[in-house]
């Protein structure tokens, strides 16, 4: 257990050391629109197991508050970075991180309006067209599992039970028809972990795509720290007793692969389908945050913190 605490502490210290002077966290996935700042800052801020009042998180909130944009559908929006159009994924990560600061504009009518427009997608048709002019963008504007999950995560904490029930229905219908398949993440265990993290009742869910036999785990579950961490989340949330041998293996693997600076080696994290692709398996590329694995490390220490 002491090793676990040490690993978490070193991981947190590494993330804090990577914060930019303006309060953001910046991860480069090699996308043509540049590095991610707003999305990464919200993502990391929501997963750091540290005091909500610490100086670094306050700086991160100030950065996001200073880079919010008016938006006709979200009221306030954030993009992948400060130069791109807002997207609902980045906006939900920011709103989750800034719940107290933006409480006055968080209204359930916003979410109902988006649902009635066609579902919870990453981009509105208008924004997707700005990002990809003269290209069909139906895939990027179709309903996405991880966006419904993020809506649920936010509205459940705000007490909007009617919208929680709506997102539950959307999530379950997706799992029935498509299984544990997210749009922007390539591995099904990541989709399963995100679903379970949302707080949806486990009794409503199909069995997770995770073997209880350590010998039957696929290569990425054992060797990709981001995927390993999400598999650990699934095992912890679904059935600790059933998955006890897997949990022990995954924890030890993460402890063994932590680098001397406190980070973990980045492997593939984000999948980017073609803008017109409704099937997420029609991908342009699958990328990692190679330069600074902030998303990987935040995900790992968030998972490990559930063990202690």
Q: What is each CA distance from 89 to 42, 223, 246, 248, in whole angstroms?
A: 10, 27, 31, 32
Mean pLDDT of 46-53: 88
Q: What is the pLDDT of residue 105?
A: 74
- Percentage of the residues of the chain whose pLDDT score is greater than 70: 99
What range does the domain containing 229 cover? 2-305
Q: What is the pTM of this model?
A: 0.95
Position 285 confidence tier, pLDDT thresholds 50, 70, 90: confident
Mean pLDDT of 55-74: 94
Where does residue 241 rank: exposed (0-12), middle (13-18), buried (19+ CB within 10 A)?
A: exposed
Residue 77's H or E segment, with its range, is strand 75-77
Average pLDDT over residues 2-9: 92
- pLDDT score at 43: 97
Question: Is the Cα torsion angle 102, 26, 127, 153 positive or negative in sign?
Answer: negative
**At 285, which CATH number?**
1.50.10.20
Output the CA–CA distances (angstroms, integers) from residue 67 to 8, 150, 245, in the order listed.
30, 20, 45
Residue 121 main-chain phi, psi, to 5 deg: -110, 165
Number of domain units in the chain: 1
């Amino acid at each position: 257990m002491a090793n676990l605490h040490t690993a978490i502490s070193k991981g947190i210290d590494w993330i804090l050391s990577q914060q930019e002077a303006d309060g953001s966290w910046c991860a480069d996935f090699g996308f043509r629109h540049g590095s991610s700042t707003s999305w990464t800052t919200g993502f990391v801020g929501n997963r750091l197991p540290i005091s909500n009042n610490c100086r670094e998180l306050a700086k991160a909130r100030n950065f996001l508050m200073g880079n919010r944009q008016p938006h006709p559908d979200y009221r306030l929006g954030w993009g992948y970075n400060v130069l791109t159009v807002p997207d609902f994924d980045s906006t939900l990560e920011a709103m989750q991180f800034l719940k107290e600061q933006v409480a006055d504009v968080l209204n359930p009518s916003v979410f109902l309006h988006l649902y009635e427009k066609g579902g919870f997608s990453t981009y509105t048709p208008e924004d997707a067209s700005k990002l990809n002019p003269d290209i069909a963008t139906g895939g990027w504007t179709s309903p996405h599992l991880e966006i419904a999950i993020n809506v649920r995560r936010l509205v459940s904490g705000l007490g909007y039970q009617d919208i929680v029930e709506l997102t539950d229905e959307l999530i379950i219908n997706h799992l029935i028809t498509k299984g544990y398949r997210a749009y922007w993440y390539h591995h099904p265990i990541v989709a399963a972990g995100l679903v379970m993290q949302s707080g949806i009742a486990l009794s409503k869910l199909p069995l997770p795509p995770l073997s209880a036999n350590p010998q039957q785990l696929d290569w990425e579950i054992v060797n990709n720290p981001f995927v390993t961490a999400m598999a650990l989340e699934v095992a912890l949330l679904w059935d600790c007793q059933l998955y006890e041998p897997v949990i022990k293996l995954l924890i030890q693997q993460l402890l063994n692969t932590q680098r001397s600076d406190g980070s973990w080696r980045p492997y593939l994290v984000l999948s980017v389908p073609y803008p017109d692709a409704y099937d997420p398996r029609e991908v342009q590329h699958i990328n990692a945050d190679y330069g600074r694995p902030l998303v990987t490390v935040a995900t790992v220490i968030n998972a490990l913190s559930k063990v202690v």
